[in-house]
Amino acid sequence: MARELLKGNEAVVKGAILAGCRAYYGYPITPASEIAEAAARWMPKVGGVFLQAESEIGAINMVYGAAASGVRVMTASSSPGISLKQEGLSYCAGAELPLVLVDVMRGGPGLGNIAPEQADYFQVVKGGGHGSYRLIVVAPNSVQEMCDLTMLAFELADTYRNPACVLTDGYIGQMMEPCSFPTPVTVLPNKPWAVGPGAERRDNLVSSIFLESDALEGHIHHMFRKYAECEKREVRYEEYKLDDAEHVVIGYGIVSRLLKSAVDMARAQGVKVGLLRPITLWPFPTERIRALAEKVENFLVAELSMGQMVEDVRLAVDGRRPVSFHGRVGGNVPTPDDLVQEILKLQGVTHG
Amino acid sequence: MSDNNSKTTAAQGPAYGDEGVGADGPGCAVGLKAADYKSGKRPVWCAGCGDYGVLNSIFNALAELQVDPDNLAVISGIGCSSRLPGYIKTYGFHGAHGRAVPVACGVKVANPALTVLTVGGDGDGFSIGGGHVSHACRRNIDITYIVMDNEIYGLTKGQISPTSPVGARAKSNPYGTVESPVNPMLLVLAYGGTFVARGYASQPKQLVQLLADGMRHKGLSFIHVLSPCVTFNKAAGYDFFKERVQDMPADHKTDDLMGAMRLAADESRFYTGLFYKSDRPEYTEGLRRSGRKLEAPPPVDIEAMIHQFS
């Protein structure tokens, strides 16, 4: 298996090409621009297309069109650009179109800065667009996973005919690590619903409009039956030293790597702590966290935000155990030492 | 907004019907020099960036008109050139990418006494924000819109822009772009801009005059400034523009729209100077004439109005 040293943002494009994606529409934004630039370099070499759109809104609607025509297609941006794409994402979800979106999160709100944050959890995982829909969300924590989970995102998007998002941050996007490349996907799913090609698809119409109340309700129920299947089958997470854990730390993306170090350091001081890392943020490992809540004393969630995923952890724990939170924002990250201090505080923290 | 200070009140109060304010009037402060408009913040631009020339010309134009900094707002979007409001000692607004023009329109319509400068780049104004420019032009809102065109995205470190020529190579187009550029001058002329001019960052004397005349003009003034990016667009540097920049033909009449369009369409050179000027009614004045008597609203019984259907 070939190994290469490359940026996380570049690994995304290699993964996309291996997954059979041959169309990329994007717009420059730091710290995600390398994804567009890598697509500009590599897509033409595999017979694919790259187009620098006039805006993020232009790009997501180009993706909307390409997805409707049945090809594997993607776009990428960073937080403010994702805000602009939300309308298009809602339409794509409503029209049941598979596509992959990559969000290399940076500091906000507003222009914020170009340093890493994880404050797009709400707008990506909980839905930033209008209406009842879900995005399937995967959260890599290494350059290798930027490749692997991008491939997975294409599979999940096609399986559930729904947009999927790779939610990552400026650290993972910009860092360089060795990456091994999986076998390319050679057989792509048939899409009889697509608008073309062929005479039998001539009547196909891609749309998200259902003017009758009952028709729209029926459509939304159909979407949520798919989502229920997805929640049953597709939850992914990583566990680290949870077997005898009395305390559980939870974090995704770059924070999970810091937490792993902190778990080792705290264990060296005799604290029985383990890590749960959600790999899919939706569907969320709710059941696993609920089960842990039956046997551990308490939880600590760490994020590069003022607290977003922590809400899903609290819903899963459902008041059974205390859930504390540690967040840094603005491009700052907690050090493993900071996190060890937070873990030490868990000792003796119980209800009441 | 909790910050309801006296400036807001002044702008909303006697402003309507009082046209002798801002760039069109005598100005409040006397004896301001170009340096008095400097904020003291050091620009982040690369050494040699054309935007320095534009900033200096703006200082000089403001001094020429003696614009009162208390009656001046400088609005921008996102991009290298959009950092400019931070460098002027006045009310600045660094907004969202591509949205400088609607923000400026919002400011001007609500506060017509203000002199409103809008600044940004070619990407901000003619890619992501392209849809807004036409509507500001057709409404003829009295803002001065300065586009610093370097034919590249500089802030994101070198991708093609809507004014990059066919074949331009950049990180997002390593094999050379196949897209044709937009022509900002032709667009604004067609959209109905009422003061349309082009300057060059390293011809400050002409640029100061164009900026001052643009600010004096009652209506939408568009000033396209060729402003080289020395870091990411070496293909369109000072040598490139030096060879192609040329003064407007002496016999061009500035009320000749078709003549202005012909000069704007000439791809062999960049004419500089005033292309077109018209006296089409300005928007905020039009609002007033349309029967919205904002200056002296009749007394209204708000209680009675609110409860008329209850």
Q: What is the pLDDT of residues B115-145, one digit of tens each?
A: 999 999 999 999 999 999 999 999 999 999 9
Q: Please report which confidence band the pLDDT of residue B234 belongs to, taking 50, 70 and 90 as the band edges.
A: very high
User: Can you give the pLDDT at residue B294?
Assistant: 56
Residue A114: per-residue pLDDT = 96
Mean pLDDT to the nearest integer, B268-283: 96
| Structure confidence at residue B2 as a pLDDT band (50, 70, 90) | very low
Asked if A176 contacts A5 with a C-beta cutoff of 8 angstroms, the reply is yes
Domain interval for residue B163:
2-309
- β-partners of residue A240 are A275
Q: Which residue of B has its CA nearest to A52?
A: B172
User: What pLDDT does B305 receive?
Assistant: 83
- Which residue of chain B has the CA closest to A81? B97
- pLDDT band, very low/low/confident/very high, at A351 (cuts 50, 70, 90): low
Angle at A153 between CA A151 and CA A159, to 5 degrees: 110
Cβ distance of A40 and B174 shorter than 8 Å: yes
In this predicted structure, what is the pLDDT of residue B310? 74
- What average pLDDT score do residues B162-166 get? 97
Cβ neighbours of B171 in A, within 8 Å = 33, 37, 40
**Average pLDDT value for residue range A301-330:** 98
* Residues of chain B positioned with their CB less than 8 A from the CB of A29: 156
Flag whether pLDDT at B12 surpasses 70.
no
> Residue A163: is its pLDDT beyond 50?
yes
Tell me which residue in A36, A54, A80 faces B172 most closely, judged by beta carbons.
A36
Distance in Å, alpha carbon of A181 to nearest chain B alpha carbon: 24
Residue of B nearest to A25 (CA): B172
For residue B98, what pLDDT is reported?
97
Please compute the mean of the pLDDT values over residues B33-41 and round it to a whole number. 96
Which residue in B130, B159, B162 is closest to A28 by CB distance?
Answer: B159
Q: For an interface test with A, give the residue of B128, B132, B134 to mutate (most A CBs within 10 A).
A: B128
Instruction: Give the whole-angstrom CA distance, residue B137 versus residue A154.
Output: 44
Contact A40 B172 (CB under 8 A): yes
Ordered alpha helix ranges (H), A95-238: 121-125, 143-160, 170-174, 213-233
CB contact under 8 A, B96 and A33: no
- Which H or E run contains A79? helix A79-94
Residue B10 clears pLDDT 60, i.e. is over it: no
Query: Do A319 and A269 form a contact (C-beta atoms < 8 A)?
Result: no
Rounded mean pLDDT of chain B?
A: 89
Task: Identify which has the larger pLDDT, A175 or B5.
Answer: A175
Closest residue on chain A to B125 (Cα): A54
Q: How confident is the model at residue A202 (pLDDT cuts 50, 70, 90)?
A: confident
Nearest CA in chain B to A31: B156
Is the per-residue pLDDT at A310 higher than 50? yes
pLDDT at B308: 82
Tell me the angle at which helices B257-265 and B184-191 cross, rounded to the nearest 10 degrees. Answer: 160
Our CA-based measurement puts residue B176 at a distance from the nearest CA of chain A, in whole angstroms, of 10
Q: Is pLDDT of B26 > 50? A: no
Which one has a higher pLDDT value, A351 or A205? A205
- The domain total for chain B is 1
For A41, which of B78, B130, B174 is closest by C-beta distance? B174
Q: What percent of chain A has pLDDT over 90?
A: 95
ipTM: 0.90
For the stretch B66-69, contacts whose Cβ atoms lie closer than 8 Å and that sit 24 or more positions apart, written own/partner, are B66/B26, B66/B27, B66/B29, B66/B30, B66/B31, B66/B32, B67/B22, B67/B23, B67/B27, B67/B32, B67/B115, B67/B215, B68/B22, B68/B27, B68/B28, B68/B29, B69/B29, B69/B32, B69/B36, B69/B37
**Cβ under 8 Å to A: B residues 57-96:** 78, 94, 96
Q: How far apart are CA A238 and CA A258, in angstroms?
A: 14
Chain B residues inside the 8 Å CB shell of A30: 155-157
Residue A173 has a pLDDT of 98
**Cβ <8 Å between B156 and A40:** no
* Phi, psi torsion values for A349, nearest 5 degrees: -85, 110
Which chain A residues are within 8 Å of B83, Cβ to Cβ? none
In B103-132, the residues whose Cβ lies within 8 Å of chain A are 127-128, 130
Residues of chain A positioned with their CB less than 8 A from the CB of B96: 80, 110-111
Model confidence over B205-233: pLDDT tens digits?
999 999 999 999 999 999 999 999 999 99
pLDDT band at B6 (very low <50, low <70, confident <90, very high): very low
Suggest the residue from B99, B169, B171, B179 to mutate for an interface test with chain A (most A CBs closer than 10 A): B171
- Res B22 pLDDT > 50: no
For residue B148, pLDDT beyond 50: yes
Confidence of residue A45 (pLDDT cuts 50, 70, 90): very high
Q: Among B27, B81, B74, which residue's Cα sits nearest to residue B201?
A: B81
Q: What integer pLDDT is reported at residue B7 of this predicted model? A: 37
- At B295, the pLDDT band (50, 70, 90 cuts) reads low
Task: Say if residue A238 is exposed, middle or buried (CB neighbours under 10 Å; 0-12, 13-18, 19+).
Answer: middle
Residue of A nearest to B154 (CA): A28
**C-beta atoms of B162 and A54 within 8 A:** yes
Summarize the confidence of residues A144-156 as an average pLDDT: 98
Contact call for A54 and B159, based on CB within 8 A: no
pLDDT of residue B244: 97
Residue B15, pLDDT score: 34
Q: Three-state SS for A53?
A: coil
Higher pLDDT, B220 or B288: B220
pLDDT grade, residue A197 (50/70/90)?
Answer: confident
Which CATH number fits the domain that encloses residue B175? 3.40.50.970
Phi/psi at B104 (5° precision): -60, -40
Cβ of A55 and B98 within 8 Å?
A: yes
Residues of B with CB below 8 A from A62's CB?
Answer: none
**CB contacts < 8 Å between A and B, how many?**
46
Share of chain B above pLDDT 90, in %: 82
What's the confidence (pLDDT) of residue A226?
98
Can you give the pLDDT at residue B290?
Answer: 73
Using N-to-C axis directions, what is the helix angle for A254-268 and A336-346, rounded to 10°? 60
Minimal-distance CA residue of chain B relative to A83: B96
**The pLDDT of residue B20 is above 80:** no
Distance, in Å, from the CA atom of B92 to the CA atom of B77, rounded to the nearest integer, reads 11
Q: Tell me which chain A residues have a C-beta less than 8 angstroms from the C-beta of B159.
A: 28, 33, 36-37, 52
User: Mutate which of A27, A57, A79, A82 to disrupt the B interface (most B C-beta within 10 Å)?
Assistant: A27
- pLDDT of amino acid B297: 66
pLDDT in tens, A79-91: 999 999 999 999 9
Average pLDDT, stretch B235-262? 97
